[in-house]
Amino acid sequence: MKLKVKLRTKLLFVFLGIILFNTLAIVSLGNNYIESFYKYQKEREITKIADDIIRLKDENPNERRPWYSYVVNAESKYYDFLIFDYNDMRPSVLYYTKSSVSSENSKSYQYWINEAISNNVFVSFNLLHERVLTLEYNEKLYKYAKLEDNQYLFISTPLEYIATTSQLAIEFFTYISLISMAIAFIFIALLAKQVTKPIVKLTNITSKISNFQFDEKCEIKGQDEIAELAKNINNMSDKIEENLNILIENNEVLKRDLDRQEKSEQLRRQFISNVSHDFKTPLALIQAYSEVLLENSNDEDKETLDIIVSQAKQMNILVNELLSLNQLESGLIKLEKSFFAIDEIIKEVLKSLDILIKEKNLTYTYTKEDDFIVEGDYQRIYQVIQNLIENAVKYTPDNESFTIKITKHYSRIQIEVSNIAPSDMDEDSMSHLFDSFYMADKTRNTTIKSYGLGLALVKAIMDLHEQNCGAKLENGYITFFITLDIFNLMDNENDDSHTLTIELDD
């Protein structure tokens, strides 16, 4: 309804403004120009009358009737005439308009001739050799013409009549404009209502469409732009309704699939948790009894018991990793955040892997832009760094090298660990690296002690930290990276919920 009032009001104001401007223009121009324009037209008309009488006299020099009839007819247009011969300063009147010249003011034709003499009319005819002259005085417009050598024509019309006529014309147009304005106001009001009515209907229908109500359609009348708009709105409504129904159906299917997936995921996690707990105690017993038997074994049984103990330890590691991953993905673990030096964690991990690095005769390059203090769960981040560097050590061929690099990106650091990529590594393999139990080495090489859980643990921990992690394959090298927030003392000087942990070398 707000649109209806606003649009109708605009239309009314626009049209009324045009009419008002037109009325004011007529009144203003009338007051300033109509009288001058009317006088100009009268002057042209009186000049034409004089020219016509001269022409009739020239064409019929010995006849009175042609010019006489013309003069009599012209007198009806409020013109006064005087035609006379003028010899030796003595006028001989041939024709004059009696009603005007013989007035109460005793302005006889002799008075008219005297006025002409005083205004040098006859002198002008003789000196300028003009046949027609125009003068304005005594509230009248005069036209003087020389018909023959000593014969003259005087014509006059009152200026008062011109002014009166002009004022009447202005008043007439003013009244007509006011009446037109009143009629136009009514017409425009009806027209505005007629124009805005279908627009208001279209607005109401589009409002319903925006609320996903498609029961009402636009009424199409005529072939104008509004009818075309109504047709397009109907088409739009049908397509939105159709696509919305398809979307609702697909959403229901997706919801059922997600519910089944969630139930499957819950069952998987529950199964892993139950199995891991059930395996934990028997594996611990197997490892313990095997170690006891190993201490009291002879040479023949020692090799067998070594294998049992080694496999039991690996199974224990697998079970512990499964339990950790399951707890992380289930959100059961709460982070214990603190601030610590990431450089110390990297050095500690490299130190712990020093024996394996030397066994494979590996070298590494470690670069950093600064000694960064970062925020996170110390134990979990330690586990992430250990998994990434241990992964690089395991998969780097003997006598080769790997790199560790720390760079700053605004308020975060990015830790990258790069090594030579396996020969069968491709884009498909890259997309599954962080999946549980996925191993890039399709041969399941037993010399590499890995169960495909390390990178899955990395992703779960970094997701819990709301940080990024990923991998990229470039120029035969695979690079794993994680991000961490840099500790800012100014932002956290009033925060007592964190502790600062910095490990230093002895």
Degrees, nearest 5: CA angle 48-52-57: 150
Tell me, what amino acid is at 468? N
Q: Decide: 217 and 205 in contact? Cβ < 8 Å.
A: yes
Q: Decide: 498 and 339 in contact? Cβ < 8 Å.
A: yes
The pLDDT of residue 493: 52
* Number of Cα atoms under 13 Å in the Cβ half of residue 252: 5
Number of H helices, E strands in the chain: 15, 13
User: What is the band of 102 on the pLDDT scale with cuts at 50, 70, 90?
Assistant: very low
The DSSP annotation for 254-288 comes to HHHHHHHHHHHHHHHHHHHHHHHHHHHHHHHHHHH
Percentage of residues of the chain with pLDDT beyond 90: 15
Percentage of residues of the chain with pLDDT beyond 70: 74
Q: Among 153-157, 316-320, 483-487, where is mean pLDDT lowest?
A: 316-320
Please give the radius of gyration of the chain, using alpha carbons only, rounded to the nearest integer: 57
Residue 184 sits at φ, ψ, to 5 deg, of -65, -35
Alpha-carbon distances, residue 155 vs 66, 81, 126, 163, 168 (angstroms):
17, 5, 19, 19, 25
Alpha-carbon distances, residue 323 vs 255, 269, 383, 434 (angstroms):
29, 9, 14, 17
Continuous H helices in 374-495: 378-395, 427-430, 454-464, 489-492
Task: Assess whether pLDDT exceeds 70 at residue 103.
Answer: no
User: What is the band of 15 on the pLDDT scale with cuts at 50, 70, 90?
Assistant: confident
334-501, CATH topology level:
Heat Shock Protein 90 (3.30.565)
The pLDDT of residue 4: 45
Q: Among 116-120, 126-130, 203-207, where is mean pLDDT lowest?
A: 126-130
The DSSP annotation for 475-503 comes to TTEEEEEEEEEBP-HHHHTT--S-EEE--
The pLDDT of residue 500: 44
Task: Assess whether pLDDT exceeds 50 at residue 143.
Answer: yes
The pLDDT of residue 152: 86
Tokens of residue 346, six digits: 């990297």
Tokens of residue 2, six digits: 């707000």
The pLDDT of residue 376: 92
Tens digit of pLDDT for each residue in 430-450? 877 887 666 555 544 544 455
Between 485 and 76, name the one with better pLDDT: 485
User: What is the band of 188 on the pLDDT scale with cuts at 50, 70, 90?
Assistant: confident
Q: How far apart are CA 169 and CA 456, in angstroms?
A: 98
Give the 3-state secondary structure of residue 112.
helix
Mean pLDDT over 43-70 rounds to 84
> Any idea how long the chain is?
506
Beta strands in 211-336 (DSSP E): none
Task: Assess whether pLDDT exceeds 90 at residue 208.
Answer: no
Give the 3-state secondary structure of residue 68.
helix
Mean pLDDT over 392-397 rounds to 91
Tens digit of pLDDT for each residue in 346-382? 999 999 899 999 999 999 999 999 989 999 989 889 9
Give the 3-state secondary structure of residue 371.
coil
Task: Assess whether pLDDT exceeds 70 at residue 270.
Answer: no
Q: Which residue has the tokens 């921990």?
A: 461
Between 138 and 452, name the one with better pLDDT: 138
Task: Assess whether pLDDT exceeds 50 at residue 504.
Answer: no
Task: Assess whether pLDDT exceeds 60 at residue 34.
Answer: yes
Q: Where are the domains of the chain?
A: 2-166, 334-501
2-166, CATH topology level:
Profilin-like (3.40.1840)
The pLDDT of residue 341: 93
The pLDDT of residue 312: 67
Tokens of residue 438, six digits: 């996925």
Task: Assess whether pLDDT exceeds 50 at residue 106.
Answer: no
The pLDDT of residue 506: 37
Q: Which residues contact 127 (CB under 8 A, 6 or more apart)?
A: none
Q: How far apart are CA 395 and CA 186, in angstroms?
A: 90
User: What is the band of 499 on the pLDDT scale with cuts at 50, 70, 90?
Assistant: very low
Q: Which residue has the tokens 């239309």?
A: 11
Mean of the per-residue pLDDT values of the chain: 77
